[in-house]
């Protein structure tokens, strides 16, 4: 794993945008070559969507929002369309965005009708006095500012519906609830002005109950950005990411301990999360275009694109 | 302000429990001597409730939960009974708790029927696989684990109802929504084992809309605890506290920059929050019983109690 991350960082100095599509329980055995191809195409599409913004002079905020919207719209990843179903057979979505130049941030949690939660998070940041809105109130706000509201059925794919039905069946037989699979999408970027930004969006944990919210919409945990240090978007077992305040932890190691982006991000993923049992990973970028994508799970959907347009996508180590 | 904080820290080496009752817009002019006396009595009662737990060999978690429950039940502070009303005339409550020994944490947000939200946060921490539950799901969980569920009217005091009606009137006349007053309650403690804990509870911002959630239930922002560094509970303009990840920021300065508790807590409150316009304060304690209570507002309801039972309460500088 060490080699991969370091090689990546060496090969891609000058990364302008990095994305992830989750670091849940992905194994080679679960994935056919055809599926792998589709996922890689989904990652390429998201990279291109974000890169197009940057090429037209857009900000890093524009780029991360566009990349995450692309992943939200793609049925293969656990965010918006294609999100996992909760215990009640419904979909609860969370998202956050943060601007490294101003430390402005926005987040929504437990929303069910906003087509692109990441855009709602951006609207909270730019068009409200608040940082975090939840539930019906967040949906009312999104509608009031003109965001696209959809029927909750829009988010449900046939594949996720099938998984849910199978889980119900399994639960009836074994009296045990199938373990929640995780998944999240996210992006970090740096623009021509040297401003960094981060965004994350998720359907949360499969079969979750009780209005559970993970790390994605929690500023400092799943999402954080500061020009002074870095922009971070996380994916994995959210409870551990909240308890270790992962994204801000990476930033703090750079700011206060003088670690490099690579040192800080790897220390949190391998030396802090892993010993606690916190499976997952993160993507991080700094104002100079240094990039790191450490993960302690078997795989993490990920990719990055450099200023010249050269891109890289991968799933496994 | 410098003098007060430093004097306090010198006088109260060996603090075992510190509390706050908010750092909203408190001015001497607004408060009659009789009101001041009542508030100080409320703080004393909360200190005694937490101290009683510690004296009986209870943990720091027991102490912060008991102190915060006392403040939640007191009609004078903005948490549970006595909380401020939101824009719809309802009350939305948030709370969090964190155990510095294990980094376990629990939080609830946007709940309307749980009598003591801090106890719900503790139940989330100890009796669920999750850290954060919101809305109806959180209420269902609290009911399922046997916590006291009440009619939402229980939380509404005559004083807060009157403020809400006056605000509506003012809004109709001036077409402007009265500025949201803040307030929060919280506690930090260290026990005989040297374990620290933090808890925070709030009704959020007066007249808030759109399901707004502040920093209180956001682990890392309004609440954080680690034996290695300190336990922190914040109060103030929550949006700024989220953006600066205040509680974890104090901890990170101690852990990575080698600052003292006093240096770290004052730097965040005076050098980071204040320049951004982030009004408020925090209470912090470490495993040795060092305590700091910096604030950049005109007042902060606060108090602490030492191992011998000597206590101190104050409102203004």
- Domain boundaries in chain B? 5-316
B241 at interface of A, judged by CB pairs closer than 8 A: no
Residues in chain B with CB shorter than 8 Å from the CB of A244 are 103
What is the rounded CA–CA span in Å between residue B21 and residue A172?
48
Mean pLDDT for B43-48 is 98
pLDDT, one tens digit per residue, over B79-127 is 999 999 999 999 999 999 999 999 999 999 999 999 999 999 999 999 9
What is the rounded CA–CA span in Å between residue B44 and residue B302?
10
B161, containing H or E segment? helix B158-174
A245 at interface of B, judged by CB pairs closer than 8 A: yes
Distance in Å, alpha carbon of A262 to nearest chain B alpha carbon? 16
- Residue B175: left if φ>0, alpha if ψ -120 to 50, beta else—which one? left
A221 at interface of B, judged by CB pairs closer than 8 A: yes
Q: What Cα–Cα distance (Å) separates residue A158 from each residue in A163, B26, B68, B226?
A: 9, 55, 47, 44
Burial letters A214-229, b for 16+ CB under 10 A, else e: bbbbbbbbbbbbbbeb
- Whether B141 and A239 lie within 8 Å, measured CB to CB: no
Share of chain B above pLDDT 90, in %: 84
- Whether B257 and A253 lie within 8 Å, measured CB to CB: no
Tell me which chain B residue has its CA closest to the CA of residue A132. Answer: B213
Q: With a threshold of 0.90, does the pTM exceed it?
A: yes
Token pair of A286 as six digits: 């700094």
Three-state DSSP class for A171?
helix
Mean pLDDT for A136-162 is 97
Q: What are phi and psi of A87, to 5 degrees?
A: -60, -30
Residue B86's closest CA among B22, B148, B168? Answer: B168
Residues in chain A with CB shorter than 8 Å from the CB of B211 are 133-138, 140-141
Share of chain A above pLDDT 70, in %: 94
| Residues of B annotated as catalytic (active site), given as ranges | 184
Q: Which CATH number fits domain B5-316: 3.40.50.80, 3.40.190.10, 3.60.20.30, 3.90.470.10?
A: 3.60.20.30
Angle at A46 between CA A45 and CA A50, to 5 degrees: 120
SS3 assignment for B192-235: CCCCEEEEEEECCCCCCCCCEECCCCCECCCEEECCCCCEEEEE
DSSP state, residue B182: P
Distance in Å, alpha carbon of A33 to nearest chain B alpha carbon? 34
Predicted local confidence at residue A250, as pLDDT: 98
Q: What Cα–Cα distance (Å) separates residue B85 from each residue in A131, B206, B242?
A: 19, 6, 22
ipTM: 0.95
Q: What are phi and psi of A301, to 5 degrees?
A: -60, 125
pLDDT range class, residue A179, cuts 50, 70, 90: low
What is the rounded CA–CA span in Å between residue A216 and residue A188?
13
Residues in chain A with CB shorter than 8 Å from the CB of B109 are 109, 134, 213
Q: Looking up tokens 């000058």, which residue turns up? A: A14
For residue B129, give the nearest of A138, A239, A256 by CB distance: A239
Given a cut of 70, is residue B4 above it in pLDDT? no
For residue B135, give the nearest of A110, A221, A276 by CB distance: A110
Sign of the dihedral defined by the CA atoms of residues A184, A91, B98, A217, in that order: positive
Mean pLDDT for A253-278 is 98
**Residue A163 CB partners (closer than 8 Å, separation 6+):** A84, A85, A206
Predicted local confidence at residue B181, as pLDDT: 66
B147 at interface of A, judged by CB pairs closer than 8 A: no
Given a cut of 70, is residue A284 above it in pLDDT? yes
- Whether A219 and B257 lie within 8 Å, measured CB to CB: no
pLDDT, one tens digit per residue, over A187-207 is 999 999 999 999 999 999 998
Token pair of B84 as six digits: 């401020």
Counting one residue from A and one from B, how many pairs have CB atoms under 8 Å apart? 142
Provide the 10 A C-beta neighbour count for residue A152.
Answer: 13
pLDDT, one tens digit per residue, over A96-126 is 999 999 999 999 999 999 999 999 999 999 9
């Amino acid at each position: 794993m060490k080699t991969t991350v370091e090689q990546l960082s060496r090969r891609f100095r000058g990364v302008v945008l990095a994305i992830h599509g989750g670091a849940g329980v992905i194994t080679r055995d679960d994935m056919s070559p055809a599926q792998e191809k589709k996922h890689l195409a989904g990652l390429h599409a998201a990279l291109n969507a974000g890169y197009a913004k940057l090429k037209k002079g857009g900000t890093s905020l524009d780029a991360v929002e566009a990349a995450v919207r692309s992943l939200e719209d793609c049925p293969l990843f656990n965010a918006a369309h294609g999100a996992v179903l909760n215990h009640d057979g419904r979909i609860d979505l969370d998202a956050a965005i943060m601007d490294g130049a101003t430390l402005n941030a926005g987040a929504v949690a437990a929303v069910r009708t906003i087509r692109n939660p990441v855009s709602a998070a951006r609207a909270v940041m730019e068009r409200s006095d608040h940082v975090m809105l939840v539930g019906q109130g967040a949906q009312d706000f999104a509608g009031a500012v003109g965001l696209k509201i959809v029927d909750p059925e829009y988010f449900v794919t046939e594949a996720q519906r099938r998984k849910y039905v199978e889980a119900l069946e399994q639960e009836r037989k074994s009296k045990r609830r199938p373990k929640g699979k995780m998944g999240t999408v996210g992006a970090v970027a740096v623009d021509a002005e040297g401003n960094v930004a981060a965004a994350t969006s998720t359907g949360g944990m499969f079969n979750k109950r009780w209005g559970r919210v993970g790390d994605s919409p929690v500023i400092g945990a799943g999402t954080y950005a500061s020009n002074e240090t870095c922009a971070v978007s996380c994916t994995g077992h959210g409870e551990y990411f909240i308890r270790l305040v992962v994204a801000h932890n990476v930033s703090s190691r750079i700011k206060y301990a003088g670690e490099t982006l690579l040192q800080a991000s790897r220390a949190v993923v391998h030396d802090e999360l892993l010993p606690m049992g916190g499976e997952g990973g993160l993507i991080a970028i700094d104002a100079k275009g240094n990039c790191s994508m450490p993960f302690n799970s078997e795989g993490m959907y990920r990719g990055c694109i450099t200023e010249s347009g050269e891109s890289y996508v991968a799933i496994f180590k």
